[in-house]
Chain A
Amino acid sequence: MSILLKNILRFILLILVQVFVLNRILLYQLVNPYIYLMFILIMPFRISRPLLILSALALGLCMDGFMNTMGMHAAACVIIAYLRPFVINILAPPGGFEYTQRSPSISTMGVAQFTVYTLILVVIHHMVYFSLELFGFGGIFYLLLKILVSSAVSIGLILLTSMLFYSKGK
């Protein structure tokens, strides 16, 4: 399967799972996991940066269309798409990652690096999104707790999904 087709399918599938499964979950007004941003995380290493940012915008706008949030998801997605290359550079061993033709995953980056990579980007996304969503409401403590708890669940789900589908180190 070509990389383009694979990514388009992934785009649609992640949005459907997010909208129809995960958006219906909310525990104690705190746990609200987002898995759709995995699409940005596992785009190929070599993708050009403008393309990455524009596809993140498209992804965010799709989510906004479904959730009536008007630009909040788009803003959060564009930020992590912009920051992604910096995070990869920081985490890369001297000389870069071995498999630059492929995409970030546990087998190409290693468990520790991939976890840290996911952690940084998911936390940034959740910080931006929840700050916009709860703007001026509920107090800083509630906001921080929601970011913390939701990020933990999102990271867990993303790592679990990538273990399920990308564990074969071809």
Chain B
Amino acid sequence: MRNLIIFIRQYFNFLLFVALEIFCLTMVLRDNNFQHTAYLNSSEAITAWIYKKYNDVQYYFKLKDTNDSLVAQNTRLLNQLAVDFDRPDTTGRTVTDTSSGRKYQYLYARVVNNSVNSPNNYITIHRGRLQNVKPDMGVISPSGVAGIVRSVSDNYAVVMSVLNRQTSISARIDSGYTGTVAWQPLQNAVHGILKDIPKSARIKKGDPVVTSGFSTLFPPGIPIGYVEKISDKGTGIFHTITIRFATNFYNLQYVYIIGDLGGNEQKTLEATETQ
């Protein structure tokens, strides 16, 4: 026993070093698990508060671009108003109330921090648990898909940006084929890749890539990006497609969080099938 104490005292520094190193590496390895909710992150009170203060200043300098993107989105939404469409003739048949069938609900949030240049990028937003934000909700910018909520605190949430190694978003191209959008750390914040589109699909530069609506995260038809380059090498059965993201990640000021009102039912059903 005495020898043990002497041993510990003699090698105290080394043992402390090893213990802390194991502690750190455990955190790193646990964090690689996609489902795990990180507890030390930028949604925590102090870091989020500091990011918010910084953003209050920085926000001012980007007002012009923010305005432009919001005006563009307003225009698009105005074009979808019910008043702009001819109603069908309903005199001959019964029309049931359709407003109860609402599936998605949007909540706007201010971006307080956004990184674009690490291998795994995150966005911190000023909305949290108290505003009904939950992990695994989709997040879109005024111009396209932005990310997926990963962890929440009372008033802040951390969003896994599309610019993340773990990104995998179900996507559809005009001709109806579906694939997966991913991002690789060697790419910049402008380009991503579209995988799993068979070579039989006819595509050309500039084609829009939109969400498929298969997952409960995003409604169908939200822009993800546009086809930039098709580089087919070898004899694989899939295209290699580079896309340009619809969202400008360098200048992200407002985002919308998508709450899927019927999502749990779909998830539960799918979970029972895959077991």
Do A and B interact? yes
* Interface residues of A, Cβ cutoff 8 Å to B: 16, 20, 23-26, 29, 32, 49-50, 53-54, 57, 60-61, 64-72, 74-75, 78-79, 82, 132-134, 137-138, 142
- The list of the 7 closest CB pairs from A to B, nearest first, reads A71-B27, A26-B117, A75-B24, A70-B31, A82-B17, A71-B24, A71-B28
**What's the minimum C-beta distance from A18 to chain B, rounded to whole angstroms?**
12
Contact A72 B28 (CB under 8 A): yes
Q: B38 is contacted by which of A70, A72, A132 (Cβ under 8 Å)?
A: A70
Q: How many residues of B contact A (CB 8 A)?
A: 38
A-B contacts, 18 of them at CB < 8 A, read A29-B188, A32-B118, A49-B13, A53-B17, A65-B42, A65-B47, A68-B41, A70-B28, A70-B30, A70-B31, A70-B41, A71-B24, A71-B31, A75-B21, A79-B21, A134-B119, A134-B185, A137-B184
With both beta carbons as reference points, the residue of chain B lying nearest to A82 in the complex is identified as B17
Total A-B residue contacts, Cβ distance less than 8 Å: 96
**Chain B hits for A137, CB < 8 A:** 119, 165, 184-185
Contact B120 A132 (CB under 8 A): no
Contact A138 B21 (CB under 8 A): no
Q: How many angstroms between the C-alpha atoms of A72 and B40 in the bound complex?
A: 12
Report if A60-B40 is in contact (Cβ < 8 Å); known contacts: A50-B16, A70-B31, A82-B13. Answer: no
> Is the CB of B186 closer than 8 A to any CB of chain A?
yes
Q: How many angstroms between the C-alpha atoms of A57 and B17 in the bound complex?
A: 10
* Interface residues of B, Cβ cutoff 8 Å to A: 12-14, 16-17, 20-21, 23-28, 30-31, 38, 40-42, 44, 46-47, 50-51, 54, 115-120, 122, 158, 165, 184-186, 188
Contact A65 B44 (CB under 8 A): yes
With both beta carbons as reference points, the residue of chain A lying nearest to B22 in the complex is identified as A75
**Chain A hits for B185, CB < 8 A:** 29, 134, 137-138
**Chain B hits for A32, CB < 8 A:** 117-118
